[in-house]
């Protein structure tokens, strides 16, 4: 499977670069069209399909990533394990597994659907807007990470207390708490009561 950085373009068979397209959806998550990625994030934003992944280790710690400084959207901030957008027609589950491998060099040993959440989060730093219908996934990671430096600046495994401490002092993506809170029931089912999520 080809490596496809989030901001890259695709080269078509005739050698020209094709813009990355996102799947536009209605409030019920039904596909209604496509839009170029950057255009979909320009204010006021166009509602589009996205995914967010939360992976945990065997101790119930959440894997966070700090987004690479070169990313055009929310660079250098901490966020969930992996997030992104399916290609038009690509299943969110397949996209979540694909991007997790592309960004972190690891395939989850377990990945399960954890519902959806719809939100509208402007990013004051970039001026872009996240209008997303987000498919949530939780899972386990048991292999060593091999992050792609163009996508990921740093990683950390955190307990709930460690997350609270980091969240109080470091910059996080505007959508992080929204997607984490929406995924919490599935996170608790996955990690068990002793993990404290």
Annotated active-site positions, please? 83, 132
- Residue from 65, 81, 49, 67 nearest 183 by CA: 81
- Rounded Cα–Cα distance for residues 105 and 54 (Å): 15
Contact (CB, 8 A) for 135 and 117: no
Report residue 193 CA to chain centroid gap: 25
Q: Which residues contact 97 (CB under 8 A, 6 or more apart)?
A: 107, 108, 111
Contact (CB, 8 A) for 123 and 74: yes
Helix residue ranges per DSSP H, the chain: 37-40, 92-104, 160-169, 176-191
């Amino acid at each position: 499977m080809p490596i496809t950085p989030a901001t890259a373009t695709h080269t078509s068979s005739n050698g020209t670069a094709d813009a990355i397209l996102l799947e536009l959806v209605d409030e019920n998550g039904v596909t209604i069209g496509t839009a170029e990625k950057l255009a979909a994030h320009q204010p006021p934003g166009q509602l589009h399909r996205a995914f967010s992944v939360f992976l945990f280790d065997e101790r119930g710690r959440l894997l966070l990533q700090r987004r690479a400084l070169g990313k055009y959207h929310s660079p250098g901030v901490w966020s969930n394990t992996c997030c992104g957008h399916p290609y038009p027609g690509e299943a969110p589950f397949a996209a979540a597994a694909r991007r997790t491998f592309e960004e972190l060099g690891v395939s989850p040993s377990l990945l399960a659907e954890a519902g959806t959440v719809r939100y509208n989060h402007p990013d004051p730093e970039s001026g872009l807007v996240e209008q997303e219908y987000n498919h949530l996934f939780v899972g386990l990671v048991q292999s060593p990470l091999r992050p792609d430096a163009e996508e990921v600046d740093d990683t950390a495994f955190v307990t709930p207390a460690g997350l609270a401490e980091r969240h109080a002092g470091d910059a996080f993506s505007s959508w992080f708490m929204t997607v984490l809170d929406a995924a919490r029931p599935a996170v608790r089912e996955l990690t068990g009561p002793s993990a404290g999520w």
